[in-house]
């Protein structure tokens, strides 16, 4: 009998077919905690596209591997998996290009007022064009908070294509590494004071939650453009709303929010020159194929008794791997 791999959502058809060659594929019929706890009981593998609680993992008594369809490991209780000896695999290289292109496109859209301009034309307010004077990216200063794969790629595109000066901040890597990845290392406050464009590429953790808050927004360069395609919790929603109303932040492109989908009383929804997208920066044909195939292949490797390529908790792998 083939082992069962449970998916919280469908993934790319090619990846579904690849899994079916070696395992029985089941797609969750509901993703609330109670339903998942019941559906996971027979699963040897799990591929995740939604946040999970420790209780769901503990209900999977036959689990041998959990895969993140994506990069953000905050969707998976990694500590619980590690405690139970379950490897957690993920797809760190799958969405780099897709998210980087989204971020650069958002920078251009903000600087040239694509959102307000579109609404003006649709609202028969052509004359508003005189109040929407944009600016060129060329030669401007970009601040990158988080110099991992995506932040590094954004820095490269902006440096090469637009001759931007790139400042990088990342508390998890050395200044030499930031420099090698194409940015001038700088302290957080230095970047906030100098950056004309600011983009976030950090994981969400206790140390990074609300890294941009009421205090830090007081230090930003007046009129900065802000892009967040990482995690909504990196920003304090109320503080960003206040900073935008005060003009300290001139525009924002938000692919992620603290509450997804946003509540009706979210103060950002009523502010102009914010571009919202529904956490879909990585949802391109190419990235979905890469995420699906990379996650599937690592799940199959673990189920065959082979070492995975990308494991977040390698201490769970048996020594005979």
Domains of the chain (ranges, CATH numbers) = 4-94+285-316 (3.40.50.720), 96-276 (3.40.50.720)
CA distance 146 to 35: 36
156 catalytic per annotation: no
260 catalytic per annotation: yes
Name the residue among 14, 66, 29, 28 with its Cα closest to residue 44: 66
> Which residue in the list 165, 209, 210, 279 is annotated as catalytic?
279
Q: Quickly state the pLDDT bin for 64 (edges 50, 70, 90).
A: very high
Q: Quickly state the pLDDT bin for 320 (edges 50, 70, 90).
A: very low
Which 3 state secondary structure label does DSSP give 227? strand
Per-residue pLDDT reduced to its tens digit, 178-217? 999 999 999 999 999 999 999 999 999 999 999 999 999 9
Per-residue pLDDT reduced to its tens digit, 110-124? 999 999 999 999 999
Length of the chain as a residue count: 321
- On the question of pLDDT at 72 being above 90, the answer is no
For residues 234 and 71, the model is more confident at 234
> Which residue in the list 21, 260, 286, 306 is annotated as catalytic?
260
Counting DSSP H helices and E strands in the chain, the numbers are 12, 12
Please give the model's pTM, rounded to 2 decimal places.
Answer: 0.89
Name the residue among 48, 28, 52, 53 with its Cα closest to residue 38: 28
Percent of the chain with pLDDT over 90: 97
pLDDT at 120: 95
Residue 282 structure tokens: 């990585």
318 catalytic per annotation: no
> Which residue in the list 149, 231, 248, 290 is annotated as catalytic?
231
């Amino acid at each position: 009998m083939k082992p069962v791999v449970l998916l919280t959502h469908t993934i790319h058809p090619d990846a579904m077919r690849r899994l079916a060659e070696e395992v029985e594929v089941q797609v969750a019929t509901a993703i609330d905690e109670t339903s998942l706890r019941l559906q996971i009981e027979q699963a040897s593998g799990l591929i995740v596209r939604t946040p999970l609680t420790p209780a769901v993992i503990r209900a999977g008594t036959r689990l041998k591997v959990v895969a993140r369809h994506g990069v953000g490991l905050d969707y998976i209780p990694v500590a619980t998996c590690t405690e139970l000896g379950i490897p957690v695999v993920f797809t760190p290289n799958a969405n780099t290009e897709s998210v980087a292109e989204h971020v650069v496109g958002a920078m251009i859209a903000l600087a040239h007022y694509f959102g307000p301009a579109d609404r003006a034309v649709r609202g028969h307010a052509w004359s508003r064009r005189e109040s929407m004077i944009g600016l060129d990216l060329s030669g401007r200063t970009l601040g990158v908070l988080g110099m991992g794969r995506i932040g590094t790629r954004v820095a490269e595109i902006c440096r090469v294509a637009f001759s931007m000066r790139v400042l990088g901040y990342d508390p998890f890597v050395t200044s030499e590494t930031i420099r090698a990845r194409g940015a001038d290392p700088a302290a957080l406050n230095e970047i906030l004071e100098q950056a004309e464009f600011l983009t976030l590429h950090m994981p969400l953790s206790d140390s990074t939650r609300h890294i941009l808050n009421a205090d830090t927004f007081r230090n930003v360069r007046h009129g900065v453009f802000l892009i967040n395609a990482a995690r909504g919790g990196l920003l304090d929603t109320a503080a960003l709303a206040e900073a935008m109303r005060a003009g300290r932040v001139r525009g924002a492109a938000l692919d992620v929010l603290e509450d997804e989908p946003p509540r009706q009383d979210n103060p950002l929804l009523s502010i102009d020159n914010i571009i919202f997208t529904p956490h879909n920066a990585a949802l391109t044909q190419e990235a979905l194929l890469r995420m699906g195939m990379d996650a599937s292949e690592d799940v199959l490797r673990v189920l065959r008794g082979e070492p995975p390529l990308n494991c977040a908790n390698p201490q769970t792998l048996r020594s005979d791997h």
